[in-house]
Structure 1
Amino acid sequence: MGLYHRIVARQVRNAFTQISAGNWEAMVAGMAPSFTYRFYGDHALGGERRTHDALRRWWERCFRLLPGTQFEVQDVLVAGRPWNTQVATAVTVHVNVVDGSTYENVVHQFLRIKWGKITEVRTLEDTAVLQRTLDRLAAAGYPEAHAEPIVG
């Protein structure tokens, strides 16, 4: 399974490169017809999405609040077979925030992939660091930073 795992790891790294270039739609297209995408935390980017439409709206919000987000992949660990692949990532996120500040955090993500389509994503980053950034944005006149999570 070594070759398969290397291919999956390369695809995951490429997905982060695509998102850093503003092409999050490629990631949405990689989702299975039935999936869960959970971003932990009680904030504007938190919640769970189960539809492609909700996931698109979430990515749109992410890039409105944190435009030009850049992902620097640290680790990609792959296990399993094509019908039940697990991927764990550690990624540093760098952003020049719209209020002029900078945002940096480490994102840990767990993915489950079945036959090339993502069925589950669980994302966790330091929510205190993220919440401080969202609070600053809301105070600077970006009310969406305190909006209810996009779910659905």
Structure 2
Amino acid sequence: MPKVSELFFKTAIVFLILGIAAGLQMAISGDHSAFPAHAHINLLGWVTSAIFGGYYALNPQKAARRIAMIHYWLYTAGVVIMLPALYVMLQGNPAIEPVVAGGSLIVAAAVLIFAFVVFSPETARSVSGVPSPSR
């Protein structure tokens, strides 16, 4: 499995654990004011990271490109900045909203990089039909 796939899958599991913990905290406290943050942890952290990992696992030529690792680090940094700040903001701290916005912009940039990866052509194939080595 490509390294970027493994990193996305491992990161997804961490976010799954955090999403479950946030859900349990809300259930135990009876305060569900942070449910949008819980949903974002699960969707952006767990589901989307796992989908990215799956895409790269199915496209090892694209996973071998440097831009794939840039995508991983930028996306993960954006989610790590955005989600805790969103959780804190929803707990009644609106002053942290600029941090949420900054993290969101980083996530958006990473998604655009992923779109570039998806829409970019694969590396050239040799005459035999076997993929040529990645750069």
Settle same-fold status: TM greater than 0.5: no
Q: Which has the higher strand share?
A: 1
The structure that has the greater radius of gyration is 2
TM-score by length of 1: 0.33
TM-score by length of 2: 0.36
